[in-house]
Chain A
Amino acid sequence: MARELIKGNVAMAESAIRYGLEAYFGYPITPQTELLEHLAKRMPELGRAFVQAESEVAAINMVYGAACTGVRVMTSSSSPGVSLMSEGISYIAGTEIPAVLINVMRGGPGLGNIAPAQSDYNQAVRGGGHGDYRNIVLAPASVQEAIDLVGLSFDLAEKYRTIAMILADGSIGQMMEPAELPEMRPIQRKDPEWATNGNPNRPRRQLTSIYLEPHDEEITNLRLLKRWQDIQTNEVRYKEYYLDDADYVIVGFGTAGRIALSAVRAARAKGIKVGLLRPITLSPFPVAVMDELSQRAKAFLVVEMNTGQMLDDVRMAVRGRAPIEFYGRPGGVVPFPDEIMSEIERMTHAKLNSQTDPRMAWLERALAR
């Protein structure tokens, strides 16, 4: 199919339709509203379910109900709305059923603002709701990648009976880029062996997240962790740029990652051997490649649109074997490549030390600015 110029939010919505979305439940919130609006028009046209719920709480519980029947179901929101959905996310995780969730992040905490941010990283990769579980979290950096990851998220959610979350941000949602949508796939309604779809001629089925006997809940928690081990083994995804001969490694995801790419190119033009690792799966985190890079890199620079959340995962992967620097723009401020370029130059000249806390060192610089 030909490339078309398409907005991230619309692209994700249409992609979900073409990958077989049968039901969408959501609530309006900036900057993801075009996603809901697109589905409001398209889903009824196709005879598929669309409900504008009374709240994000209701929306995620509608997703929960539809997910129990085994169909492809999705919701989308932005940061404050995802907080409201945390309850349902936990229940879905505890019930071990597939669902897809898109978070088009904005500045927070609280009402925050509607500008692009990455401050829900911890909430997303650590699960968000109560209890012992993890979600698959995929971070697109372009409209095309967002389209592709929506398809992947359905496949992964179904394969592992888990939640797959697309963690985008306002600029991915609002940006237009040329991209190719997948062909429309016919809906193939499956009857997974666990689905409570009211089908006759079989023993009844039930789906619940309740395990009143602690030993049963313990077994469930261990089952979830075992599944997570398989996900960690099989599903790590990332993209490398100029890393083959890199002395310095930038790590950034989503919008911060692609902005860092501009800075990396500018630094390369000045002869600085710097490369970029852009994690696509934030959870599972690309630990193995970080491990390998930490044995040959002179230093790392983590760039995020928050105060250093992925930074902690990088620190755990690097394990003190190389100095780590941090540069963040929280609160909905999007960094320019020039800022990251300055950080690269600073890093190449500074005396680096793997003992200092990169977040606090950055805070001092940020406050002094």
Chain B
Amino acid sequence: MVTLIKPTFAMEQNAVYCRPQAFTDVSTHYCPGCTHGVAHRLIGEVIDEMGIRENTVGVAPVGCSVFAYNYFNTDFVEAAHGRAPAMATGIKRVLPDKVVFSYQGDGDLASIGMAEIMHAAARGEHITVIFINNAIYGMTGGQMAPTSLPGMKTTSSPNGRDVETQGYPVRMAEMLAQMDGAGYVVRRSLHDPANIRKAKKAIRTAFEVQQHGLGFSLVELLSTCPTNWGMTPVDALGWVNEHMIPAFPLGDYKVSPAVAQIKF
């Protein structure tokens, strides 16, 4: 295992970049170049900045981020596939003063967990969902996801996703924005530094929405899967920009008037 530099040590060395305290001292299992690491980092930084590390319960999904509970230095539970919003609901309803978030991929959230996410939003559950959309099933080895693009080759759409027989990609942020219980639903991308900064701001806003009791909040993050896309990490970032963003436009799909007032 890689020896990790402790934040305190890093500060002594005048480091400008150190590990969030919201992280455990463990290296992740993610493939090189995968943007899960970036997403984790952003959440960790936001938890640190808000000072909520000891007041947070996370819910991990089934999929590539199944081990997310190992990486965050907060209480964490591991949900059944797609059920993270239901589990988060159960936790938040008995612990309304805690910060509860789920971290889910596209298979988990947009396929098997469609009912759970839609109804959590409809109920306006005061939870925050970080939704990683990389248009593929990573953990099981590159099968078609509900968000795979038309024509996209995967191990279960070897000739490319045929919309006649395999349907069209699901746009979750757009759908969830229709739910009256949703306070904040946005889509961001992790393909370059400028967008990563915007993504972090959105994650911070989503957690603030929860702390202010302003309803359901979700940040969809367009992410890469170099391994299963069969690309180098750099090419994968380019592919997000060229192919995913046109299919999944970035933007704020739901910002309730109360959420627009939040200052931090």
Are A and B in direct contact (Cβ within 8 Å)? yes
- List A residues at the B interface (Cβ < 8 Å): 22-23, 25, 49, 51, 53-55, 57-59, 61-69, 71, 73, 87-88, 91, 95, 196-201, 204-210
Given A65-B59, A65-B89, also A58-B94 (CB < 8 A): no
Given A53-B119, A65-B59, also A208-B77 (CB < 8 A): yes
Provide the residues of chain A in CB contact with B66, threshold 8 Å.
210
Asked whether B78 lies within 8 Å of A57 as measured between CB atoms, the reply is no
Provide the residues of chain B in CB contact with A58, threshold 8 Å.
83, 86, 89, 115-116, 119
Residue B149 is within 8 A (CB to CB) of chain A in the complex: no
Asked whether B77 lies within 8 Å of A206 as measured between CB atoms, the reply is yes
Given A65-B89, A198-B57, also A54-B75 (CB < 8 A): no
Tell me which residues from 224 to 241 in chain B have a Cβ below 8 Å from any Cβ of chain A: none
Asked whether B87 lies within 8 Å of A204 as measured between CB atoms, the reply is no
Given A88-B80, A206-B75, also A65-B54 (CB < 8 A): no
Could you list 5 examples of A-B contacts with CB < 8 Å?
A54-B115, A57-B116, A62-B86, A68-B77, A200-B54
Asked whether A210 lies within 8 Å of B54 as measured between CB atoms, the reply is no
B77 in complex: contacting residue of A62, A88, A207, CB < 8 Å: A207
**Cα–Cα, bound, A208→B87 (Å):** 12
Residue B255 is within 8 A (CB to CB) of chain A in the complex: no
Asked whether A61 lies within 8 Å of B76 as measured between CB atoms, the reply is no
B88 to A, closest residue via Cβ: A65
Asked whether A69 lies within 8 Å of B86 as measured between CB atoms, the reply is no
Q: Which of A25, A59, A65 has the most chain B CB atoms inside 10 A of its CB?
A: A65
- Total count of chain B residues near the partner, CB < 8 A: 38
Q: Which of B59, B69, B83 has the most chain A CB atoms inside 10 A of its CB?
A: B83
A209 in complex: contacting residue of B70, B78, B93, CB < 8 Å: B78
Q: How far is the CB of A46 from chain B (nearest CB, A)?
A: 13
Further pairs besides A53-B119, A58-B116, A69-B57: 12, Cβ < 8 Å: A22-B94, A62-B93, A64-B79, A65-B79, A68-B77, A198-B57, A198-B74, A198-B100, A200-B55, A204-B75, A205-B75, A206-B70
A54 to B, closest residue via Cβ: B119
Residue B41 is within 8 A (CB to CB) of chain A in the complex: no
**Cα–Cα, bound, A54→B85 (Å):** 12
- List B residues at the A interface (Cβ < 8 Å): 24, 54-57, 59-60, 66, 69-70, 72-80, 83, 86-95, 98-100, 115-116, 118-119, 123
**Cα–Cα, bound, A358→B101 (Å):** 55
Q: Which of B69, B74, B80, B88 has the most chain A CB atoms inside 10 A of its CB?
A: B80
**Cα–Cα, bound, A65→B80 (Å):** 11
Asked whether A55 lies within 8 Å of B115 as measured between CB atoms, the reply is yes
Provide the residues of chain B in CB contact with A95, threshold 8 Å.
77-78
Asked whether A197 lies within 8 Å of B119 as measured between CB atoms, the reply is no
Q: How far is the CB of A330 from chain B (nearest CB, A)?
A: 32
**Cα–Cα, bound, A207→B76 (Å):** 7
Asked whether B94 lies within 8 Å of A71 as measured between CB atoms, the reply is yes
Given A54-B116, A62-B93, A68-B91, also A196-B86 (CB < 8 A): no
Asked whether B57 lies within 8 Å of A196 as measured between CB atoms, the reply is yes
**Cα–Cα, bound, A196→B77 (Å):** 7
A202 to B, closest residue via Cβ: B54
Asked whether A64 lies within 8 Å of B93 as measured between CB atoms, the reply is no
Asked whether A88 lies within 8 Å of B94 as measured between CB atoms, the reply is no
Asked whether B73 lies within 8 Å of A204 as measured between CB atoms, the reply is yes
Q: How far is the CB of B69 from chain A (nearest CB, A)?
A: 5
Provide the residues of chain B in CB contact with A208, threshold 8 Å.
60, 69, 77-78
Asked whether A65 lies within 8 Å of B76 as measured between CB atoms, the reply is no
B95 in complex: contacting residue of A59, A62, A197, CB < 8 Å: A197
**Cα–Cα, bound, A49→B88 (Å):** 13
**Cα–Cα, bound, A34→B28 (Å):** 48
Asked whether A66 lies within 8 Å of B91 as measured between CB atoms, the reply is yes
Asked whether A66 lies within 8 Å of B80 as measured between CB atoms, the reply is no
Given A73-B94, A197-B98, A208-B69, also A65-B86 (CB < 8 A): yes
Asked whether B54 lies within 8 Å of A201 as measured between CB atoms, the reply is yes
**Cα–Cα, bound, A270→B197 (Å):** 87
Provide the residues of chain B in CB contact with A73, threshold 8 Å.
90, 94
**Cα–Cα, bound, A69→B89 (Å):** 12
Provide the residues of chain B in CB contact with A199, threshold 8 Å.
54, 75
A197 to B, closest residue via Cβ: B95
**Cα–Cα, bound, A362→B113 (Å):** 45
Given A65-B59, A198-B55, A206-B76, also A88-B93 (CB < 8 A): no
**Cα–Cα, bound, A77→B194 (Å):** 50
Q: How far is the CB of B74 from chain A (nearest CB, A)?
A: 6
Q: How far is the CB of A91 from chain B (nearest CB, A)?
A: 5
Given A65-B59, A204-B75, A210-B78, also A23-B94 (CB < 8 A): yes
Q: How far is the CB of B259 from chain A (nearest CB, A)?
A: 23
B83 to A, closest residue via Cβ: A61
Given A54-B115, A62-B86, also A207-B94 (CB < 8 A): no
Provide the residues of chain A in CB contact with B98, threshold 8 Å.
197-198
Provide the residues of chain A in CB contact with B88, threshold 8 Å.
65
Asked whether B54 lies within 8 Å of A61 as measured between CB atoms, the reply is no
Q: How far is the CB of A207 from chain B (nearest CB, A)?
A: 5
Q: How far is the CB of B170 from chain A (nearest CB, A)?
A: 18
Provide the residues of chain B in CB contact with A25, threshold 8 Å.
89-90
Provide the residues of chain A in CB contact with B93, threshold 8 Å.
23, 49, 51, 62, 66
Q: How far is the CB of B16 from chain A (nearest CB, A)?
A: 27
